[in-house]
């Protein structure tokens, strides 16, 4: 059976309950609430989410689909080199920003790639992040205190989660952390540098307040990057005085943040769960499974990012280090701004 780009769009529209952009009218005049412009008010850096087809000919055949979190030039190159016809990105796609600084229409055009995005149109369709973190929400909102995107859950721990240690062990098992540690150890050995770091290991689940043996019965689950504050925590505790655990996911806070001291003051355990780097598990796998269900004869793969930190002096072969010295000394020192 032959699938086309338009079939992928229909599958995405079906699995999101009709949230995709299908006609110009869907993104004009606020007709589609999932067409959202995101801006920090940095001149020229706003981006508008267009759930659905961002680039591609609706009549182009599709044999292989890649699901990924963020489209990058590395993803585009991997897709073209491995026979992928369509990229389905969770995060919004911005011209040039997500295509190596060049125009999407040129880059994807020469590789005959179609690109889709979903993001806010996919959020809220499943309770996966709560399940992964061992609780079942009885309260959920995506705009706590009237702040769009300020997602908050309050949930009861699943029967198998008795302690903070149980929650952390569950995450380590589901995220396959042991394998990630082995991968990092192998890379350090092969590259001859024990200073290499990798995101999923460096930013794995951690305790900011409390101990592993403390009980977990009721969880307040928030996302620090969405605008969640100490005041919000205090309000939630007033309405849920028996909550015992504060859980931060996707983003996290670090020592010195006021949420940590407030959690300690309130007698809460404070746990950082999965970082944003692990969202391919939370949203990527369900999305890929749903696409495969709608288009069973298409090949579906998952593109996973792996970000490492390598000391400058350990990066690359001796020849590339010499190249860097040559370019620096011959071309980059003593340059004026204009």
Residues 6+ apart with CB under 8 A from 97: 47
Beta partners for residue 136, in sequence order: 156
Give the dihedral of Cα atoms 175, 178, 183, 185; nearest 10 deg: 140
What distance in Å separates the CA atoms of residue 85 and residue 96, rounded to the nearest whole number? 19
Q: Is 124 helix (H, G, I), strand (E, B) or coil?
A: coil
pLDDT digits (tens, 9 = 90+) for 10-58: 999 999 999 999 887 777 667 888 998 999 999 999 999 999 999 999 9
Nearest residue to 142 (alpha-carbon basis) of 243, 226, 224: 226
- The half-sphere exposure of 198 on its side-chain side, counting CA atoms within 13 A, is 18
Entry field: residues in the chain: 338
What distance in Å separates the CA atoms of residue 291 and residue 84, rounded to the nearest whole number? 15
Q: Do domains 3-122 and 128-276 have the same CATH topology?
A: yes
Regions of the chain with pLDDT less than 50: none
| The pLDDT value given to residue 336 | 64
| The pLDDT value given to residue 169 | 97
Sketch the domain layout of the chain as residue ranges.
Answer: 3-122, 128-276
CATH topology (fold) of 3-122:
3.40.1390
| The pLDDT value given to residue 172 | 96
Range list of β-strands (E), the chain: 3-4, 37-38, 47-48, 52-55, 61-62, 64-68, 86-89, 114-117, 135-141, 152-157, 197-198, 206-209, 218-222, 245-250, 269-275, 299-302, 308-309
Q: Which CATH architecture has domain 128-276?
A: 3-Layer(aba) Sandwich (3.40)
Range list of β-strands (E), 164-312: 197-198, 206-209, 218-222, 245-250, 269-275, 299-302, 308-309
Give this prediction's pTM.
Answer: 0.93
The pair of structure tokens assigned to 260 is 């940590």
């Amino acid at each position: 059976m032959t699938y086309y780009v338009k079939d992928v769009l229909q599958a995405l529209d079906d699995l999101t309950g009709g949230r995709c952009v299908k006609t110009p009218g869907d993104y004009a005049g606020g007709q589609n609430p999932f067409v959202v412009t995101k801006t920090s008010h940095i001149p020229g850096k706003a981006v508008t989410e267009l759930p659905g087809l961002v680039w591609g000919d609706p009549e182009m055949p599709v044999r292989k689909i890649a699901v990924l979190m963020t489209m990058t030039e590395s993803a585009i190159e991997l897709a073209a080199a491995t026979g992928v016809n369509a990229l389905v990105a969770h995060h919004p796609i911005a011209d040039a920003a997500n295509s190596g600084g060049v125009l999407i229409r040129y880059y994807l055009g020469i590789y005959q790639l179609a690109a889709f995005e979903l993001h806010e149109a996919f959020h809220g369709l499943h309770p996966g992040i709560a399940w992964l973190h061992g609780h079942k929400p009885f309260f959920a909102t995506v705009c706590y205190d009237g702040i769009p995107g300020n997602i908050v859950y309050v949930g009861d721990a699943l029967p198998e989660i008795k302690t903070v240690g149980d929650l952390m062990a569950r995450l380590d098992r589901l995220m396959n952390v042991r394998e990630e540690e082995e991968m990092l150890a192998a890379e350090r050995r092969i590259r001859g540098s024990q200073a290499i770091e990798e995101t999923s290991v460096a930013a794995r689940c951690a305790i900011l307040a409390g101990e592993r043996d403390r009980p977990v019965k009721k969880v307040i689950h928030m996302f620090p990057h969405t605008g969640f504050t100490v005041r919000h925590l205090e309000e939630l505790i007033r309405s849920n005085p028996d909550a015992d655990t504060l859980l931060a996911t996707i983003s996290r806070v670090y020592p010195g943040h006021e949420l940590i001291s407030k959690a300690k003051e309130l007698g809460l355990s404070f746990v950082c769960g999965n970082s944003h780097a692990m969202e391919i598990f939370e949203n990527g796998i369900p999305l890929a499974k749903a696409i495969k269900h709608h288009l069973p004869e298409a090949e579906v793969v998952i593109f996973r990012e792996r970000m490492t930190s390598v000391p400058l002096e350990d990066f690359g072969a001796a020849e590339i280090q010499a190249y860097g010295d040559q370019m620096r000394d011959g071309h980059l020192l003593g340059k004026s701004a204009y």
